[in-house]
Structure 1
Amino acid sequence: MTSTAPHQSILDKPFVLDLFAGPGGLDVAGRALGIPSLGIEWDRSACLTRYAAGLDTLHADVSAVRRDAFESLPPEINVLAGGPPCQTYSVAGKGAGRKALNEVKDYIKRLMAEEKIDKDLENLSDPRTAMVLEPLRYAIQATRSPNRENRPYDVIVLEQVPAVEALWEHYAEVLEETGLPDGTKYKVVVDVLDTETYGVPQTRSRAVLIARREGLGEPSLPGPTHRAYDPKEWNRRQERDTASAHQPTLYDEAVSESEKQKNVDDDLQPWRSMGEVLAPHGRRTPFLVRSNYGSSGVPGRRGVRTDRQPATTVTGRISRFVVFEHLDENIVYEGPRFSMNEAGLLQSFPPDYPWSGTARAQQVGNAVPPLFGAHLLSAALGLPAPDPDVMKESWQPATEEKRAKLRSHGCGDAYECTARCPRPEDQIPVRSTMK
């Protein structure tokens, strides 16, 4: 169900708590919409990026904050958001995935019955299974918080890889039918959405959940603003062009690409290509990109796309994508690989976003595409769809003074991590690149 109702914000002053916040995709979206946010993130490098970007952050384990510091969170927070690591059952169609999903469902049932589950969770072979329960546990904790006067969150927004749709459906069933232990119930919508249909220059599918507390109206999914990318149609078109008398080069003007797409649906804009996004920032066109996404390391299965197409899913392997240039004269050579700012642009981050710390490619790949996040938040809150150009402006990094203040709040010291910060050796297993 997509939104067709008149736009009227359901909250006077939305304030987002972003669990598993990463380098700031959803927070960047919130800032573009004028919505404040607080992110909780345990990866040190992702926090360094967030501090450099000027984003309010707690360098902490999400579960530890819930247990030990929930009452210190701003009481005005009324929107809960996040994408918990869900690798333990991301193979939902297989036996191991179904078993893990059934295990999670049982824990959810016990949570709603107010049973104690922490000791059982400590014995799990994979601690990430416990992490997928955290959004629900935060929702319950909010109703028991004296600092909040026991007020539940008004809106919940969750997203993850498509295989997690089955879990979101179970979340929806619990939130709508069973309700939280205090009796609070929500209206919920769940679906799998494609990010290129919201102006992100990348084909990336996400399972999303949007919930509104009863009394705040029916929630709806964001309506698409751009055409979906169909690889089969693209291949058929290339075959027709090759068979015609005119032999096109691999790069056509963006206007020609728009002409090819516009007649399919006059209400939707053309999907955005890599060349359209990267050329204004110095990337030479034409180019080809060979990625190993979905190849399992087998060279013959690697995907190849031209700059006239959207990128394949940007993962932590984005720095390994090989870029070939100088194609228009039948001379092909390997050009420079994508910089982190270019990889960020393919995720719809603003130009010059201040990526910091180590494992920057992993940070980019794990992030929520900000433009997609802006559409999710807008739909969840009843706001109009964001301007497709909202992320094009250069990002103003935080001053040294601001960065020190943010880190003092997030880590306990203006210049370094402290004993309250998660230890790197505890951050195992490593985050998946599937995000």
Structure 2
Amino acid sequence: MDVSNADAVDLFGGPGGWDWAAQRLGITVTGIEKDHAACETRRAAGLGTVEGDVRDYGPGDFPAARYLKIGSPPCQPYAINGLGKGRAALDNVLALARRMANREDVSRDLAAFEDERIGLVLEPLRWALQAIDQKRPYEAITLEQVPTVLPVWEALAIILRAEGYSVATGKLSAEEWGVPQTRVRAIFVARLHGEARLPSPTHRKYRKAVAQEDGDQSLRPWVSMAEGIGWGMTHRPGLTVTVGTGAGGADPSCVGGSGARATLYGERDSGRWVPFNRLMSVDDLPAYKGGRKDQIRVYAQDAALLQSFTAEHVFCGSRTQVLTQIGNAFPPRLAEAVLCAALDLRPSLRSVA
């Protein structure tokens, strides 16, 4: 594949959540990704891949990618369950965005952050402004991040509206598009021609006090964890897949961060649960050897399904690397909905099913 001729460039390709969805819609994407294991996962899926640091590239390196630009900057500095360095630096990040809009060189300021990943959230703005200045602006831009980054997306919206774009921002919850988990993300969609919009839900929003069959009858019911992976909670979707690992499989923190363990065990102990029955004996599970038999472990294949990857999607690397890739990925099903709204496309038949 000639990566320079792709329709779109993904600044933070990861294992390909955005790009796998784009490929199903007939969009060719080249993803820039620094992590080698994630690059191997991308190549195994047939996705265009440049292994390197996004800061070493620019729009001129991908001259055909004028149709779309995708980005999911690293979320760890801004995540609620992280150290919070990005959240603490948010005012500084917003000030740098305004300086970038004035075409100031802020590279030294970005390099001065204690965590270099903090400044990566502004890479999409650098690319967008460079493309504009090179007289080849992107037709559409889509971005996602953890909810705490929404103020950054709103700041970018002001900047790009001044450059002639229509922009829509907001928070989307994955279960409203049939993903079997309650993952919430801050979304940014910009269009150079036409009205930018966020996708309309296809499934009901999960609410603790509302049964699956209740709610807006014009929408499909949300998908429970048990329906998504064949075991687990029956009365709610899975919790957000994050990057946590345990012996033999993902720790319960891998499906929800703080409070996930109590939620999973509480649902199981109350009887709202389908037991893990993929193996004949629980003693055969590596996670239980030397541990308690009532432990709950979510394995990579299940975490991937909770993210709406198909069972056929191959992840490369060690167990920890695979779980990290899955936790960092944007759910393909939600990505497809955002892309369809951003580009006025019809969803793939696989997505409608």
TM-score between both structures, scaled by the size of structure 2: 0.79
Cα distance in 2 for residues equivalent to 1:88 and 1:232: 33
The residue aligned with 2:196 is: 219
The residue aligned with 1:376 is: 338
Contact 2:7 2:67 in 1 (8 A): yes
Contact 1:341 1:353 in 2 (8 A): no
Letter of the structure 1 residue corresponding to residue 220 of structure 2: Q
Cα distance in 2 for residues equivalent to 1:264 and 1:316: 32
Deviation at 1:14, TM superposition (A): 9.1
The residue aligned with 1:208 is: 187
Q: 1:151 to 1:357 in 2, by over 3 A?
A: same
The residue aligned with 1:164 is: 149
Q: 1:312 to 1:108 in 2, by over 3 A?
A: same
Deviation at 1:115, TM superposition (A): 1.6
Deviation at 1:97, TM superposition (A): 5.8
Residue from 134, 138, 147 that aligns with 1:153: 138
2:103 aligns to what SS in structure 1?
coil
Deviation at 1:87, TM superposition (A): 4.2
Q: Are 1:365 and 2:327 matched, yes or no?
A: yes
Deviation at 1:193, TM superposition (A): 0.7
The residue aligned with 1:432 is: none
- Corresponding residue pairs, total: 310
Cα distance in 1 for residues equivalent to 2:84 and 2:229: 42
Letter of the structure 2 residue corresponding to residue 104 of structure 1: V
The residue aligned with 1:242 is: none
Contact 1:88 1:100 in 2 (8 A): no
- After TM superposition, list the pairs within 5 Å mapping 1:153-302 onto structure 2: 153-176=138-161, 179=162, 184-213=163-192, 216-233=193-210, 261-279=212-230, 287-288=231-232
Residue from 308, 311, 315 that aligns with 2:238: 311
- After TM superposition, list the pairs within 5 Å mapping 1:90-169 onto structure 2: 90=79, 100-145=89-134, 150-169=135-154
Letter of the structure 1 residue corresponding to residue 228 of structure 2: V
Residue from 300, 308, 313 that aligns with 1:348: 308
Rg bigger for which structure? 1
1:77 aligns to what SS in structure 2?
coil
Deviation at 1:130, TM superposition (A): 2.0
The residue aligned with 1:252 is: none
Cα distance in 2 for residues equivalent to 1:327 and 1:20: 34
Contact 1:139 1:153 in 2 (8 A): yes
Percent identity reads 40
Cα distance in 2 for residues equivalent to 1:95 and 1:44: 26
Unpaired runs of at least 5, structure 1: 1-12, 234-259, 280-286, 289-305, 393-435
Contact 1:276 1:308 in 2 (8 A): no
The residue aligned with 1:71 is: 60
2:351 aligns to what SS in structure 1?
coil
Which digits, 9 at most, give the CA deviation of each residue in 1:361-407, with x for residues without a partner? Answer: 111010000000000000000123454x4398xxxxxxxxxxxxxxx
In the TM superposition, structure 1's runs of 4+ consecutive aligned residues that sit over 6 Å from their partners are none
Q: Are 1:30 and 2:12 matched, yes or no?
A: no
Which digits, 9 at most, give the CA deviation of each residue in 1:182-228, with x for residues without a partner? Answer: xx321111111100000000011000011111xx2211110000011
Deviation at 1:106, TM superposition (A): 1.6
Q: Which has the higher contact order (CA 8 A, sep 6+)?
A: 1
TM-score between both structures, scaled by the size of structure 1: 0.65
Letter of the structure 1 residue corresponding to residue 120 of structure 2: M
Cα distance in 1 for residues equivalent to 2:235 and 2:84: 39
Letter of the structure 1 residue corresponding to residue 322 of structure 2: R
Deviation at 1:75, TM superposition (A): 2.3
Q: 1:52 to 1:109 in 2, by over 3 A?
A: same
Q: 1:336 to 1:356 in 2, by over 3 A?
A: farther
Letter of the structure 2 residue corresponding to residue 222 of structure 1: P
2:57 aligns to what SS in structure 1?
helix
Tell which deviates more after alignment, 217-226 or 72-81: 72-81
Cα distance in 2 for residues equivalent to 1:124 and 1:206: 24
Q: Are 1:80 and 2:53 matched, yes or no?
A: no
